[in-house]
């Protein structure tokens, strides 16, 4: 080695970052220097000093466990989504068999309470030709602020309500998150409100496909039933 080369090596600053970069760019380094693996020792919180090979094996085992947990979570989510799809599919079929508005209300209440564990469900009509119980009637003056606040950009609202809004829609039940669906071609028919005790259950970022389909079905079905009963 020349004096000049030796000087360059002496002046070069070799730090942790440089070593790490070199090893990252040369992952086969230890294949060419296997003796170093047995000489290197790493601190382990439970086992004390361990070799680099042992530490690498432990990291791989931890990663395998993590992947197994992630796969398990994905499988649980997939099964839950399948159950939801089947439940909503059965609900759609049951609604199509309903011959009256009251049957529609009963079917929705039963499905959400018994199968989806969400008993907080209310159906409000804005302007109905049928005589309806007070809990199904929608007073424009009372609900106007809720509509203007929650339906600015969409006919579906997913999220939380103020305490006043909760009392308005669910006076006898505690809810932490809701799905509000405007019904009718232009949202003129009424509103279906579904509440859940979990504040994160209904979230603006969630997939709304199933409740959007429910909204479309009710928007088509209810006017037909109401016209038939009124006539």
pLDDT in tens, 158-180: 999 998 888 888 888 889 999 99
For residue range 53-72, list pLDDT tens digits in order.
677 788 889 899 999 999 99
* Residue 62 domain-assigned (yes or no): yes
> From CA 204, how far away is CA 81, in angstroms rounded?
18
Q: How confident is the model at residue 142 (pLDDT cuts 50, 70, 90)?
A: low
Within this chain, do residues 164 and 187 fall inside the same structural domain, yes or no? yes
- Percentage with pLDDT > 70 across the chain: 79
Q: What is the pLDDT of residue 96?
A: 96
- Percentage with pLDDT > 90 across the chain: 43
Q: What is the pLDDT of residue 88?
A: 95
Domain stop point among 63, 97, 131: 97
Domain of 61, in residue numbers: 17-97
Q: How confident is the model at residue 9 (pLDDT cuts 50, 70, 90)?
A: very low
Within this chain, do residues 21 and 76 fall inside the same structural domain, yes or no? yes
* Residue 9 domain-assigned (yes or no): no
Domain stop point among 97, 113, 136: 97
For residue range 92-134, list pLDDT tens digits in order.
999 999 999 889 999 999 999 999 999 999 888 887 666 666 5
Q: What is the pLDDT of residue 87?
A: 95
Its pTM surpasses 0.75: no
Residue with the larger pLDDT of the pair 82 and 1: 82
Domain count along the chain: 2
Q: How confident is the model at residue 49 (pLDDT cuts 50, 70, 90)?
A: low
């Amino acid at each position: 080695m020349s004096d000049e080369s030796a000087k360059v090596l002496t002046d070069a600053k070799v730090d942790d970052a440089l070593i790490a970069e070199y090893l990252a760019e040369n992952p086969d380094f230890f294949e060419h220097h296997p003796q170093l693996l047995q000489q290197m020792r790493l601190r382990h919180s439970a086992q004390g000093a361990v070799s680099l090979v042992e530490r690498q094996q432990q990291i791989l085992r931890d990663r395998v466990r993590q992947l197994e947990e992630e796969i398990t979570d994905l499988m649980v989510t997939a099964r839950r989504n399948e159950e939801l799809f089947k439940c909503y599919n059965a609900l759609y079929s049951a609604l199509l068999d309903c011959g009256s508005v009251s049957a529609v209300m009963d079917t929705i209440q039963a499905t959400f309470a018994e199968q989806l564990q969400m008993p907080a469900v209310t159906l409000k009509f804005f302007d109905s030709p049928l005589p309806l119980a007070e809990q199904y009637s929608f007073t424009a003056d009372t609900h106007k602020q809720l509509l203007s606040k929650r339906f600015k950009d969409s006919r579906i609202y997913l999220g939380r309500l103020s305490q006043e809004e909760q009392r308005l829609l669910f006076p006898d039940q505690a809810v932490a998150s809701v799905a509000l669906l405007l019904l009718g071609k232009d949202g003129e028919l009424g509103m279906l409100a579904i509440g859940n005790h979990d504040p994160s259950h209904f979230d603006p970022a969630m997939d709304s496909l199933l409740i959007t389909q429910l909204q479309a079905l009710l928007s088509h079905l209810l006017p037909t039933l109401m016209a038939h009963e009124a006539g």
